Chain A
Amino acid sequence: MAGKEYVCVMKLHSDVPEDKVTKVLDEFQGPLYQRPPVRSSVKRQLRTRTIYYIDFFEMDQRNVLFKVGCEAGTYIRKLCYDVGEVLGCGAHMQELRRTRVGPFVEDKTLVTLHDISYLFSQWQETKDESLLRKFVYPMEKALELMPKINVRDSAVDALCHGAHLTAPGVLSLDSGIKIGDTVAVFTQKGEAVTMSKAFVSSEKMLKMDHGFVAKTQRVLMPRGMYPKMWRKNQ
């Protein structure tokens, strides 16, 4: 699941010196036990989540501004509460903005609703498609951080029909894939075909000449984009 980054304002319930706050925030980096809060959309059982980093920015009286990078499923409201407990003064989350979801960050791809309605109305006047491509990105963008496997044209349509990927279909792949990893399967033109679960490691996949290498879990490409090269009632 996609890693997240947030910018957060935490409100302390009493005055605490800055050096103490930064020290406690540092301690929260690494693996963490969290029970999801009362109002949450998941089962409330204790689970571990990793905080990759907490970067303290500044503190103004009882308001603490910091950036936190963490695993999917980390509750920042809970993190603020727990930081408050460790500090002994209590604290709560005041404000929160998500600044990353997996490959999506606040870069030139980020658009506001105003940008969209402007560009869209420009497109309606001029019918210049490049205006739409300024704010709509190919779905492949969402798969950027996944390990990938590139396959032959002849394997594509079978995958689109839900077949599992077999060794002869593989042309190239990312190193470091482990059994059970979720991988993205692409055509040679860079189009996403499926999201699959690796049956074998990269090393093994390279050496195999037959047999299943990845189990298809999600088909992303519509059927019929590539010719059907597999036999059916023939």
Chain B
Amino acid sequence: MQRTNEPWEIKRSLVVKAEEETDMRFGHRPEERPIKEHMRFGIINLDKPAGPSSHEVTAWLKRILSLERAGHGGTLEA
């Protein structure tokens, strides 16, 4: 069989419906988020070693970084 186009290769294009300014008093650009908020809603692309489970590694990180909440994006269920 032939290769299928991977969904991560899809290119999209933005179309504008209306123009408006954003009020800089509210919110932040994601890369300028205050650090507390950044850590609360952040994502880590972790190179997990084989062996310890995703659940265990999440618990470690939660402790190391002293986070209130932490989760993972899914186990490797082969």
B22 to chain A, nearest CB (A): 4
Instruction: List B residues 20-78 near A (Cβ within 8 Å).
Output: 20-23, 26-31, 33, 35, 38-39, 41-50, 57, 60-61, 64-65, 73-74, 76-78
B19 to chain A, nearest CB (A): 7
Q: Report yes or no: A138 in contact with B1, Cβ–Cβ below 8 A.
A: no
Q: Would A173 and B45 be within 8 Å (CB), given that A76-B78, A96-B78, A132-B35 are in contact?
A: no
CA distance A61 to B3 in the complex (A): 27
State which size class the interface on B falls in. 35 or more
Interface check A113, CB cutoff 8 A: yes
State which size class the interface on A falls in. 35 or more
Which residues of B have CB within 8 Å of A136? 38-39, 42-44
Which residues of A have CB within 8 Å of B30? 138-140, 189-192
Hey, which bits of chain A sit against chain B, CB under 8 A? 3, 26-30, 40-41, 50-53, 69, 75-77, 93, 96-98, 100-104, 106, 109-113, 116-117, 120, 129, 132-133, 135-142, 145, 147-148, 150, 152-153, 156, 170-176, 187-192, 202, 205-206, 220, 225-227
A174 to chain B, nearest CB (A): 4
24 interchain pairs, CB-CB under 8 A: A27-B1, A52-B6, A97-B50, A98-B76, A106-B47, A111-B44, A112-B47, A113-B46, A116-B65, A133-B31, A137-B44, A138-B30, A138-B43, A152-B20, A153-B26, A156-B26, A170-B17, A171-B18, A171-B20, A173-B15, A175-B14, A225-B27, A226-B26, A227-B26
Q: Report yes or no: B6 in contact with A69, Cβ–Cβ below 8 A.
A: yes
The one of B5, B12, B42 that contacts A137, using a Cβ cutoff of 8 Å? B42
- Majority DSSP secondary structure for residues of B touching A: loop
Which residues of A have CB within 8 Å of B28? 189, 191
Q: Report yes or no: A29 in contact with B14, Cβ–Cβ below 8 A.
A: no
The one of B2, B17, B61, B74 that contacts A173, using a Cβ cutoff of 8 Å? B17
A57 to chain B, nearest CB (A): 16
Q: Report yes or no: A117 in contact with B15, Cβ–Cβ below 8 A.
A: no
Other A-B contacts than A117-B64, A188-B21, 12 sampled, CB-CB below 8 A, are: A28-B1, A50-B4, A52-B3, A52-B4, A75-B77, A111-B46, A113-B57, A139-B42, A139-B43, A153-B20, A191-B27, A192-B30
CA distance A77 to B78 in the complex (A): 5
Which residues of A have CB within 8 Å of B47? 106, 110-112
Q: Would A145 and B43 be within 8 Å (CB), given that A101-B74, A173-B17 are in contact?
A: no
The one of A69, A111, A202 that contacts B15, using a Cβ cutoff of 8 Å? A202
A64 to chain B, nearest CB (A): 15
Q: Report yes or no: B29 in contact with A190, Cβ–Cβ below 8 A.
A: yes
CA distance A35 to B42 in the complex (A): 35
The one of A110, A116, A189 that contacts B61, using a Cβ cutoff of 8 Å? A116
